[in-house]
Amino acid sequence: MTVDKNTRALEAEIETDFRDKMSYGSYLGLDTLLNSQHPVSRPEHHDEMLFIIQHQTSELWLKLMLHELKAIVRRLREDDLRFALKHIARVKHIQRSLTEQWSVLATLTPSEYAEFRGDLGASSGFQSYQYRAVEFLLGNKNAGMVKVFASDPEASELLTGLLNEPSIYDEFVRLLARRGFDVPADLLERDVTQAHVFSEPLVAVYKEIYENAAEHWDLYEACEELVDLEENFQFWRFRHMKTVERTIGFKRGTGGSSGVGFLKRALELTFFPELLAVRTEIGA
């Protein structure tokens, strides 16, 4: 009998009958997931599938990021910094995946995209409520963004709730105060529906932590992890802007924004300004 060395025999113990058992596909809901791509171009353009899947996978990663960011807020509120750092580590890997996948969309050339861009109507990534939720959790609050989702009750409820709750940075600053650091009272009592505004006295708090790292190691590590989150988010924003620039140049966005110009201005936004400012003070 000839044995085909390039064929792996199916082991007898491997399950093959799933009539009454949960399978991989049923657990993951693959019937729904893999049938959720509905190109609208007619005739259907080959590259529209890339465009749809790129954005759908981004939304899946954003969903997981939201799951982790909410856990970070909860852990900080409970003074559980160790597990908060564990969640941050996972978010950083998610951010890396989100940033790297822009390279896939960048294979879509301007001429290819132009053939079906008009079929997208007014739909735009600007309307991603999960992206806005991530920004709110990190502290970039903007009540004006909520009205974009007035026609979507679920999205509006989520964003309104997060708008009115402390951000990760709010909770970290409150944790510092509970640890005995001289955090300004106005930061502890601030209107959390507004974006955080730079506080010079908070820089002094971080300077103390950084210059006495051995004594405050967990806080020192947390500061650096938050800076990582900020940098990773900026890398994502930059890759987004450059991919848009590469694909449509300086056209207006399908959702009505100015396109590249609007995305460039987002690069000026910061979540944790004092953690960047303190670097100028250390060792000065």
Name the binding residues for substrate. Answer: 51-55, 113, 117, 254
Question: By C-alpha distance, which of 65, 203, 245, 191 is closest to 138?
Answer: 65
Largest Cα separation within the chain, whole Å, is 83
Taking the C-alpha atoms of residue 136 and residue 163, their distance in angstroms, rounded to an integer, is 6
Distances (CA, A) of 38 to 115, 126, 163, 176, 192: 17, 20, 33, 49, 39
| CB 237 within 8 Å of CB 263 | yes
| CB 131 within 8 Å of CB 158 | no
| CB 130 within 8 Å of CB 59 | yes
Taking the C-alpha atoms of residue 40 and residue 140, their distance in angstroms, rounded to an integer, is 34
Tokens (6 digits) for 262: 């609007």
**Binding site feature residues for heme:** 240
- Check residue 252 and give left, alpha or beta (phi > 0: left; psi -120 to 50: alpha): beta
| CB 132 within 8 Å of CB 92 | no
Taking the C-alpha atoms of residue 181 and residue 140, their distance in angstroms, rounded to an integer, is 24
Buried b / exposed e across 19-36, counting CB within 10 Å, b at 16+? eeeeeeeeeeeeeeeeee
**Binding site feature residues:** 51-55, 113, 117, 240, 254
Place of tokens 């951010």: 95
